[in-house]
């Protein structure tokens, strides 16, 4: 059974904050975290950084947290949490989360409050519990990873947010616009459990978050103890369809019944290898993971990682802290 990292209450928690200190929002975040630390009699170090420095700062903070028997805490949206989680998982230290994103699927799945002050107070009383982690090639993802239409959707969403603001309504509007103009069909070769198949799809989406999949109506197998992880991830493939069918899918997704639609195919797995056609294998593929987009060299290997992420999880029992 995996052993949880030990936490020294006297050691300073290391808060990695993607943003600059001194802004109104940054000051409010700092005040909420410092108030929670003072109320609990704990020490903390707030590490502000730019997006360009986030990976380096996260890796340094994770190494320091492991050496001091503390935890590194991600303060930000899905992309920030992903980067800090990757560093924490590699180092083997505990991870805390203070979510500040739009949907916050990872935090909500694990009972973490979306209010900054409440989340900071929660993590000071939390204990490490193992959480399932997946990866595409060497990139960890906590919520989802995908190729095809979905990465285009994320890029469009960021453009809309830059123009109209960072709200859920703007995010949904961007998604609708992307889906309605979707035409590009992706040809893939999939190797799953020794069986190889070729297919055409608008997008291949791999979900590692039960809450998001439930809200879409794409349910995954439950564990007998009701835990959110089951050792597998869920693939959802969107078949090439026309505009009217796409509108129907959008409606079903909004109603939480996407899994009942003939326009999609879904299945669970532990490991899957994805390749483009042979003539395109020298090109890098656009891949989305937890709200970020990058280009990766194929083949793409999606898998559940054997080692868990140790999350400072509110209400974790002694049994959960040993092995979920």
Q: Are residues 150 and 280 in the same domain?
A: yes
More confident residue, 184 or 35: 35
Rounded-to-integer distance, Cα 49 and Cα 16, Å: 7
Q: How much is the mean pLDDT over the chain?
A: 82
Q: What share of the chain has pLDDT > 70, as a percent?
A: 72
By CB atoms closer than 10 A (0-12, 13-18, 19+), residue 225 is exposed
pLDDT of residue 214: 83
Q: Are residues 147 and 255 in the same domain?
A: yes
User: Given the structure tokens 């993607």, which residue do they identify?
Assistant: 18
Domain CATH number, residue 154: 2.60.200.40
User: Is pLDDT at 24 greater than 80 in this prediction?
Assistant: no
Distance of CA 317 to the CA centre of its chain: 24
Domain-located, residue 88: yes
Say if residue 22 is preceded by a cis peptide, omega within 30 of 0. Answer: no
pLDDT in tens, 277-286: 765 666 889 8
Q: Are residues 219 and 171 in the same domain?
A: yes
Domain-located, residue 222: yes
Q: Are residues 227 and 313 in the same domain?
A: no
Domain-located, residue 5: no
Domain-located, residue 8: no
Quick one: average pLDDT of 47-70?
96
pLDDT of residue 322: 46
Q: Are residues 172 and 300 in the same domain?
A: yes
pLDDT of residue 256: 45
Instruction: Please give the model's pTM, rounded to 2 decimal places.
Output: 0.83
Asked if residue 65 lies in contact with residue 94, where contact means CB atoms within 8 angstroms, the answer is yes
Q: What total number of domains does the chain contain? A: 2
Asked if residue 80 lies in contact with residue 292, where contact means CB atoms within 8 angstroms, the answer is no
DSSP 223-268: PTT--S--S-EEEEEEPP--HHHHHHHHHHHHHT-GGG-TTEEEEE
Residue-range definition of the domain harbouring residue 121? 13-132+307-322
């Amino acid at each position: 059974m995996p052993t949880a990292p030990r936490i020294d209450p006297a050691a300073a928690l290391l808060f990695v904050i993607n943003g600059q200190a001194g802004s109104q929002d940054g000051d409010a975040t700092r005040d909420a975290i410092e108030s929670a630390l003072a109320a609990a009699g704990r020490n903390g170090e707030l590490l502000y950084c730019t997006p360009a420095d986030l990976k380096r700062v996260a890796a340094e903070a994770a190494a320091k947290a492991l050496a001091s028997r503390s935890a590194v805490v991600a303060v930000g949206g899905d992309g920030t949490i992903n980067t800090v989680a990757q560093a924490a998982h590699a180092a083997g230290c505990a991870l805390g989360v203070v979510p500040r994103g739009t949907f916050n699927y990872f935090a909500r799945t694990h009972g973490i409050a979306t209010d900054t002050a409440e989340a900071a107070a929660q993590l000071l009383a939390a204990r490490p519990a193992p959480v399932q982690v997946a990866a595409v090639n060497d990139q960890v993802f906590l919520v989802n990873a995908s190729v095809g239409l979905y990465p285009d959707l994320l890029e469009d969403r960021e453009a809309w947010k830059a123009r109209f603001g960072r709200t859920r309504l703007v995010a949904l509007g961007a998604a609708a616009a992307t889906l309605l103009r979707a035409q590009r069909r992706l040809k893939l070769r999939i190797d799953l459990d020794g069986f190889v198949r070729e297919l055409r799809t608008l997008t291949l989406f791999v979900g590692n978050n039960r809450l998001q999949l439930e809200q879409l109506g794409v349910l995954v197998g439950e564990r007998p103890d009701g835990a959110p992880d089951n050792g597998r991830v869920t693939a959802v493939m969107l078949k090439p369809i026309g505009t009217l069918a796409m509108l129907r899918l959008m409606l079903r997704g909004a109603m939480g019944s996407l899994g009942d639609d003939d326009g999609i195919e879904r299945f669970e797995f532990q490991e899957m290898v994805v390749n483009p056609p042979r003539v395109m294998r020298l090109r890098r593929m656009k891949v989305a993971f937890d709200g970020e987009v990058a280009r990766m060299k194929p083949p793409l290997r999606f898998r559940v990682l054997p080692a868990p992420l140790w999350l400072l999880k509110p209400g974790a029992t002694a049994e959960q802290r040993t092995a979920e």
